[in-house]
Each structure stands twice: as C-alpha cells, then as structure tokens.
C-alpha cells in the first residue's frame, strides 16, 4: 500500500464525515487548532476511519495522542505494516477501500 493511497483514504473521511475542505488537509495541520475540530469530532472521525478501514480504534491509546494529520498518517502506516506482517493483503485492501468510494 502506498502512503499516498492511505492519505487519500484518510482525507476522504475528513471531507465526508467532518466536512473539512480538502484544501485544508495539509500534513502539518493540527487537527484541533487548524481544522477547527474538537474532541467530540475526534470520536466521529474514529468511527469514520473504523468503517473505512475495517479496524477497531476505540481502545487505541496511540490514536488519542495524535495532534497533526501527519501523526495520523504515520499511525495508519504503522497499522498497515502490522496488518501486512500478520498476512493481510493490504494492497488489495486499500484498492477495495478506494473502489468503495467510487
């Protein structure tokens, strides 16, 4: 899975679930300070990401430490590597996710 594909899928969740304008989604943007979101939005962002990626994030302590979009992309890249190590075909998975969005 390419990082660009991962970023596109994550950004789509911000746009669709939280109506954040795509042009605001810069890697260095802070989720609270720059995107105008709050802790309640983070719960709904998490639900959106869970649905899109078919994973469970609710009990993840790491997810709660995320500040910037880049932190989030890094976190998902790490998750992807863990899934890959467990034998999940993450390349097909991201294609499926992107196809669902079409």
Partner 1 sequence: MNKKRCVITGMGVVSPLGNTLEQFYTGLRSGLCGIREMTEWDIAGAGTADATYFGSPVELDEKFIKSLPRSMRRSMSKISLYASCAALQAIEQAGLQIGELNNQRTGCIIGSTMGGTSAISEAYRIVTFGKGLEEMSSMQFFKSVSHTAVFNVSHFLNITGTVMAPCAACASALQSIGHAMELISFGKQDIVVCGGAEELAPEVSGSFEVIYAGVSSTRMKDPKQCSRPFDSRRSGLVCGEGAGIFVLEELEHAKARGAEILAEVVGYATCGCGTQISQSDAPAIRKCLEMVYADAEISPDQTDYINAHATSTLQGDFSEATAIREFFGEKTPPVSSLKGHIGHTLGASGALELAASLKMMQESEIIPTLNLESPGEGCEGIDHVMAEPRKKQLDLILKNSFAFGGINAALLCKKYQN
* Binding interface with partner 1 (CB under 8 A): 18-19, 36, 39-44, 47, 50, 56, 58
10: closest CA among 85, 39, 22?
Answer: 22
Q: Shortest distance, CB of residue 56 to partner 1, whole angstroms? A: 6
Q: Shortest distance, CB of residue 53 to partner 1, whole angstroms? A: 13
Q: Shortest distance, CB of residue 91 to partner 1, whole angstroms? A: 26
Residue 6 β-bridge partners: none
For partner 1, give the closer residue by CB, 58 or 102.
58
DSSP letter for 12, please: H
8 Å CB contact between 54 and 95: no
């Amino acid at each position: 899975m390419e990082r660009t594909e991962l970023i596109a899928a994550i950004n789509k969740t911000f746009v669709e679930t939280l109506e954040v304008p795509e042009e605001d989604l810069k890697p260095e943007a802070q989720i609270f300070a720059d995107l105008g979101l709050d802790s309640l939005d983070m719960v709904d962002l998490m639900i959106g990401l869970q649905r899109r990626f078919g994973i469970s994030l609710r009990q993840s302590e790491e997810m709660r430490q995320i500040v910037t979009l880049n932190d989030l992309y890094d976190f998902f890249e790490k998750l992807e590597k863990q899934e890959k190590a467990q034998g999940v075909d993450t390349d097909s998975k991201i294609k499926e996710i992107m196809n669902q969005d079409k």
